[in-house]
Amino acid sequence: MIWNDRPAEPRNWPIADAMASDPAVDATWLAPDRTDYPAMRILITAAQIQKRLSEMAAVLAPAYRDRPLTIVGVLTGSVMFLADLVRRLDMPLRIGLIQASSYRGETTTSGELYVSPGLMPDVRDRHVLLLDDILDTGQTLKRLVQDLRDQGALSVKVCVLLQKKGRQIHHVEVELVGFEIPDEFVVGYGLDYNDEYRQLPYIAVLPAI
């Protein structure tokens, strides 16, 4: 089953416009005297993210009603996405976490995939919704889908907050996408650079390092 839900189009909002139209954006993150963070262009505002999550939950809830569901988040980038999404799902479910990453340390390019087997949840005889912050090359999600199937899941479907245009190398069937974005390195709302910026409530483009 593939949900025919069209991802909302992102907007390349100038910083000033985003702050003016979205009170959820904390202006202190963008203050010119803040020297520890560079000025960043906001791609998707906090308000846009929260609105889209409500739309996604409205699609997911009827699809999994009365089915044994485990939602598995990919650490660490999906934590904010996972927490905000499950609070919108008024239904029985379990939550699991998997640690997997192909970006390590101070890099903006995908490298060798690392998966921590010790965190793999028990998904036997359950339907799994695999959540990740971003679909880039598809390497991580392809591996995790197969691992979860090997663990005896009844079904494994993929839901991502972001999908980068023109970056996917490995075939992964994605049932639900929050936003399609251009091929730029983004941070915020769980996404990081060298484990920083995850706490930002919006998605912003990181300037060239």
Tell me which residues are annotated as active site: 136
Helices (H), the chain: 15-21, 46-64, 79-86, 139-150
Q: What is the b/e burial string over 158-190, where b = at least 16 CB atoms within 10 angstroms of the residue's CB?
A: bbbbbbbeeebeeebebbbbbbbbeebbbbbbb
Q: Rounded to whole angstroms, how far apart are CA atoms 34 and 9?
A: 30
Q: What residues contact residue 1 under an 8 Å CB cut-off, 6+ apart? A: 63, 157, 175
Residues 6+ apart with CB under 8 A from 11: 43, 44, 48
